Amino acid sequence: MPLGLSRVARRSRVLWAAAAALLPLLCPPRAFPEPPAEPLRVLYMHRPPYYERLPDGRAAGALVEIARMVFVRAGVPHEFVEVPPRRILRMVRNGQAVCSVGWFRTPEREAFARFSEPIYQNLPMGALIRREKAPLWPERPTMRVALESGLVLGLVKGFRYGPWEERFREVRRSHTVERIETNQESLFRMLCRGRVDWMLICPEEAGYQFRVRPRLRSCSVFRRFADAPAGNRRYLMFSRAVPQEVVEAVNAAIREVVNSPEYRRIVRRLQDVDGGRP
C-alpha cells in the first residue's frame, strides 16, 4: 500500500474508534429505538358464543371481541391462538408468557396466575325444557321446584354446576338427575329425542344455540329461575411470566372499554335469548 494511503487508513480507524467511544454519550441508550415487542399470545378455546374460530382462521366470539378491544386500547401487541382448555391451564401454570380469555377466578387458579378486572358477568343460569313438558313448570320456577318436578335433568359428567351442586344433593329422588358421559352438543340431541327432559344452560348460550340449531328451538323452550344466583364473572387470565405493568395497562383499558357503546352493543347481542328478549 502506498505510504499516503496507509496514513489515511490509520487516521480513519482512529476517527471511527473515537466516534464509537463518544456515541453512547451523545446518544444515550433510550435514544435508540427498541426492537418491537413479541406479540402476547392470547389463548382461547372453541365455545360459541364466547369464543370461536371462523373458517378463515380468525378468532371471533363476544369475549374475543371484547378482549381485542381491550388489548388495542392498552397498546399491547397480541395474537389470538386457539388451544384446548386443559392445555391452556397447563401453559399458564408452566409460566409461558400467555394470556387467556374469559376464565372464572378461583383460589386454585390464583395460586399460579394473575387475573385482570372482570370483562363480563354472565346472566343467572337458566334451563332448556322439552316443549311438551314446559306446562309442568311455572313460568319462572324456583330451583327446588324444577329439581323436584319429577322431570329427568341431563348433566354433563365432570362439569361443575356451582351453586346447583348442593341442590342436586338435596334431591332424594336420584333418578331425576342423570349425569351423562357426553358433551353439551350430545345433550342437545338427547333433549330433542326425549332421553332427558331438561338441562341447565346459560342464557347467552341458549340464545346462540337457538340461532344455529332450528330443531332445538322447535323441541324446547328456555326458562329462567326465580331464585338462581348471580352469574359468574369472567376475566383475562395471565401467566406470571407476563409483566405486571402489562396487566395494569390492560386493567386501565378494561375500565374504559366496559363503558363504551361498542361494549354495550356486544353485550346486548350476547344476551339476546330470543328475538330481543334477553
Domains 40-122+232-270 and 126-224 share a fold: yes
- Condensed to tens digits (0 to 9), the pLDDT of residues 113-129 reads 999 999 999 999 999 99
Show the DSSP H helices in the chain as ranges. Answer: 3-26, 62-74, 85-93, 107-110, 143-147, 164-170, 184-193, 203-212, 214-219, 244-257, 261-270
Is residue 130 over pLDDT 90? yes
Binned at pLDDT 50, 70 and 90, residue 37 comes out as: low
Q: What share of the chain is helix, strand, coil (3-state, %, to 5)?
A: 45, 20, 35
Tell me the CATH architecture of domain 40-122+232-270.
3-Layer(aba) Sandwich (3.40)
Domain spans of the chain, in order of start: 40-122+232-270, 126-224
The whole-model pTM stands at 0.78
Does position 157 have pLDDT exceeding 60, yes or no?
A: yes
For the domain 126-224, what is the CATH code? 3.40.190.10
State which amino acid sits at residue 100: S
Range in 154-158, 173-177, 228-232 with the lowest mean pLDDT? 173-177
Helix and strand counts by DSSP (H, E) for the chain? 11, 13
Report the relative pairing of strands 233-239 and 120-121 from DSSP bridges: antiparallel
Q: Which three cell numbers stand for residue 74?
A: 392498552
Q: Where are the alpha helices (DSSP H) in 161-241?
A: 164-170, 184-193, 203-212, 214-219
pLDDT at residue 131, rounded to an integer: 97
| Dist. CA 208–CA 128, nearest whole Å | 13
**Reported confidence tier of residue 198, pLDDT bands at 50, 70, 90:** very high
Q: Which three cell numbers stand for residue 155?
A: 348433566
Higher pLDDT, 192 or 148: 192
